[in-house]
Chains A and B, each alone.
Chain A
Amino acid sequence: MRGVGSASGGGPAVEIRGLVKRYGRATAVDGLTLTCARGEVTAILGPNGAGKTTTVEICEGFRRPDGGTVRVLGLDPADRALRPRLGVMLQAGGVPPAVRAGEWLRVVARFHADPLDPAALLDLLGLTGHARTPYRRLSGGQQQRLSLAAAVIGRPELVFLDEPTAGLDPQARHACWDVVTALRDAGVSVVLTTHQMDEAEKLSDQVVVIDHGRVVAEGTPEALTGAERQLRFRARPGLNLDELLCALPPGSAAKESPSGHYIIEGQVGPQLLATVTAWCATEGVTTEDLRIERRTLEDVFLELTGRELR
């Protein structure tokens, strides 16, 4: 049913301009502007309280904005015509505790004109053995997977996943990633929020970092992490880096962060490597885990949003 998508134009999946949302005196979203392209996976990253869930729930039609405009598949999020076209996975809950896993999925399937087969979806997510288990007796990871299944069973065009892998074990996390990848391959647009950098890096075409209700960075994972390389190693804590800095080419930087972990930035090449190892030899330092790599999304994230706990 591609016609449904093209009827409202081939515009973006989600378009948010100057979104504002306040709860009492607190401003949860403060002039946020972002665009999620059709057929792509967009990851919204941000610390707790950055406004991720509020933004997503406004797109899902659960909350009304106090300012700005939001268009989802070209429509106002409150438009009932959107409901069959959207798949929604809440951050938690949303399922009656006593309902059996298979039963819940069958009921949600009956709301849709052309749903996926509930049994096949249970199988895909490794829940077949729990089809008759009440929701409250499922483990946290199984509950998450059931919610994911319910979000996609109606063959939506656009899926919102609010922290889909929070609390999942590695197997379940990979199963969830496989579903997201399969959705994207089938032309479904996906918007997900996450705390997990590897998840955003692996899955998404576009990463949006938000903090204090605003976008602080956006781009592909590659663009965000940049081409710049770093030399990293571990050694005993508290080395005096001043002498090393003198020996390095101008424009280089060296820091210890966290304790015992050293990062050298600058023109990372054979010369720099030789200088560092020579310095280590002089200082009698045995390094561990010496490697040259690109900055990770986590580095970028911490730079943008700070290291303090919230």
Chain B
Amino acid sequence: MTTLDFTPRPGAAPLPRMVLAQAGAEARATLRNGEQLLLTMIIPILLLVGFSVAPLVDVGGGPRVDFVTPGILALAVMSTAFTGQAIATGFERRYGVLKRLGATPLSRAGLLLAKTVAVVGVEVLQVVVIAVVALALSWSPHGNPLWVAALILLGTAAFSGLALLMAGTLRAEATLAAANLVYLVLLGLGGVLFPLDRFPAGVRPVLDALPITALTDGMRSVLAGGGGFPGGPLLVLACWAAVTLALAARTFRWE
């Protein structure tokens, strides 16, 4: 038998090293998981291509790809930060992974930071792939990339809050079902592909208050319309982020 020197030499690694190690593991897990890949990459790309090429919805004037791409980018953020993260975290809780990680030097704050880094990392990949496909379909983006980054970051915060709220309170199977259902409902109602002016005026205020609507609106006003600072959408997303993250922090059960 090989021998190892087990002489105690305990010590925590520096926080950045721990966070990057955990973030890398989570990002690899997402990219290796077939269902997650379907959700984060394949569905958005299929929708992008389908709705850009075929006249499935009346987008008003202008090339269809210019209308569809901002919505698909918003969908990509929602799929990773909300649906994917909720399901993955729900099952980590079920399998005792969150519990086990609690016994390592990685603190809970460090774990949440790692999850955020992993989500943003996957989102960067999604944005690159979606942008390449959209450009190939003659997409012509406008606007300030900084506003786009701000929208994606606040959108990520809002959807992460929702994801953790769900994953930390529901059973893993319930989280799986609810996260997929919410994804579909928000995809249909949030202006991702179907312009909001098709909906009755009475429900518009409700739809406008949804985080996906704010993200889609903001992305579209910047990227398609070349609009300036998307103050309204950013405010809506900030409110969602503040409320959901605060609630998740209060209700999250690690076991």
Contacts and interface: CB of A to CB of B under 8 A. Distances in A.
Interface of A: 1-2, 4-5, 60-62, 80, 83-86, 88, 90, 92-99, 103-104, 106-108, 110-114, 116-117, 120-121, 123-124, 150, 152, 154-157, 175, 178, 182-183, 185-188
Which of A61, A98, A117 is packed against the most chain B CB atoms within 10 Å? A98
Given A98-B32, A110-B13, A113-B13, A80 B8 contact: no
B11 A92 contact: no
A94 B12 contact: no
B95 A93 contact: yes
A116 B17 CA distance: 16
A187 B10 contact: no
Given A90-B99, A95-B97, A182-B4, A111 B18 contact: yes
Interface in B1-56: 1-13, 17-18, 20-22, 24-25, 28-29, 32-33
Query: What 9 pairs between A and B have smallest CB-CB spacing?
Result: A113-B11, A94-B100, A110-B21, A93-B96, A186-B6, A88-B103, A155-B9, A157-B8, A85-B10
Nearest to A121: B4
Contacts of B95: 93-97
A155 B10 contact: yes
B10 A62 contact: no
State the main secondary structure of chain B at its contact with A: loop
Interface of B: 1-13, 17-18, 20-22, 24-25, 28-29, 32-33, 91-92, 95-97, 99-100, 102-107, 255
Contact of B10 (A1, A80, A90, A182): A1
Contacts of A96: 25, 29, 91-92, 95, 97
Contacts of B18: 110-111
Which of A83, A111, A124, A157 is packed against the most chain B CB atoms within 10 Å? A111
Contacts of A112: 10-13, 105
Given A94-B95, A107-B22, 9 more contacts: A80-B107, A84-B11, A94-B97, A106-B21, A107-B25, A111-B12, A113-B12, A154-B105, A182-B4
Nearest to B3: A182
Given A62-B255, A88-B103, A90-B100, A186 B10 contact: no
Nearest to B25: A107
Contact of B106 (A1, A5, A111): A111
A114 B1 CA distance: 23
Given A83-B12, A93-B96, A108 B104 contact: yes
Contacts of B5: 116, 186
29 contacts: A1-B11, A61-B102, A62-B99, A62-B255, A84-B105, A85-B10, A90-B99, A90-B100, A94-B97, A95-B95, A96-B91, A96-B97, A97-B95, A104-B25, A107-B22, A110-B18, A110-B20, A111-B18, A111-B104, A112-B10, A114-B11, A116-B4, A117-B4, A120-B2, A123-B2, A154-B10, A155-B6, A155-B7, A183-B6
Contacts of B2: 120, 123-124
A218 B99 CA distance: 30
A85 B8 CA distance: 8
B9 A114 contact: yes
A182 B105 CA distance: 24
B21 A62 contact: no
A86 B9 contact: no
Contacts of B9: 1, 113-114, 155
A182 B219 CA distance: 60
Nearest to B103: A88
Contacts of B7: 155, 186-187
Contacts of B12: 83-84, 111-113
A294 to B, nearest CB: 30
A126 B32 CA distance: 26
B13 to A, nearest CB: 6
A135 to B, nearest CB: 9
Nearest to A92: B96
A97 B172 CA distance: 14
Contacts of B22: 107, 111
Contacts of A95: 95, 97, 100
Contacts of B17: 110
Contacts of A90: 96, 99-100
A112 B1 CA distance: 25
B11 A98 contact: no
Nearest to A96: B97
B208 to A, nearest CB: 38
Contacts of A120: 2, 4
